[in-house]
Amino acid sequence: MPHAGLMDEETLGPVEGPRQRARLHIRGGKRRLRQGKVSAGIVTLYDALEAAIRSYVDDLEKREKLVIHHGENLNDERTSYTVLVRSGVLDGTFDFAAFERLTDSALNENIPEFDYRELLAGFGSVMDQLGVTPFDEASLPPEDPQTF
C-alpha cells in the first residue's frame, strides 16, 4: 500500500495516523488510476476512505457530537458512514454501498477500464467533509517510485 515505509501510523496516533494514511492513499490511488491500474486504484481509495472515517470517529472531540445509537459498532466502516451521515458530518450524497460493491469487484477481478471521474468527484466531496482534503501534497513524504 502507498503508506508502507512512509509513516508510522501508531506513532502519529489514532487521529493523525489514519488521516496521514488517507492522504497517502488518496495520492497513491489517484496515481494508480491515471496509470491504468484501475482495480488497485479503487482498492487504494477505499482504504483511504476507511482511514478517513476511522480518523474522524476516533477523534474524541468530534465523537462527542455524533448521534450514535445503542449497539452501533464504529469499528465497522459502513456503520460509521451511516452515523456520520445521520450526524450531519456527511451530506449522504456519496453512494457508499455502490463504492463497496465496486471495491469488492476490484478485489476479485481486474477492471481494465473505468471512467472514474464521477467516483473521484463524490469521493473528493466526502474527503472534504471529513477534513482530510484539501492538503498540500508537498507536505507528504515523497512517493517511492517502486511502489506498485
Write down the pLDDT at residue 1: 47
Task: Evaluate if residue 5 carries a pLDDT over 60.
Answer: no
Please check whether residue 97 lies inside any domain of the structure. Answer: yes
Task: Evaluate if residue 9 carries a pLDDT over 80.
Answer: no
In sequence order, what DSSP letters do the residues of 84-146 get, joined into one string?
A: HHHTTSS-S-S-HHHHHHHHHHHHHS-------HHHHHHHHHHHHHTT--S--GGGSPPP-TT
Please check whether residue 66 lies inside any domain of the structure. Answer: yes
Write down the pLDDT at residue 147: 64
Please check whether residue 26 lies inside any domain of the structure. Answer: yes
Please check whether residue 110 lies inside any domain of the structure. Answer: yes
User: How many domains is the chain built from?
Assistant: 1
Domain of 21? Answer: 9-133
Please check whether residue 145 lies inside any domain of the structure. Answer: no
Reported as a single tens digit per residue, the pLDDT across 74-127 is: 999 999 999 999 999 999 999 999 999 999 999 999 998 889 999 999 999 999
Please check whether residue 139 lies inside any domain of the structure. Answer: no
Map grid coordinates 455524533 to a residue: 66
46-57 burial by CB neighbour count: b if 16+ within 10 A, else e?
A: bbbbbbbbbbbb
12 residue type, one letter: L
Please check whether residue 55 lies inside any domain of the structure. Answer: yes
Percent of the chain with pLDDT over 70: 88
Please check whether residue 86 lies inside any domain of the structure. Answer: yes
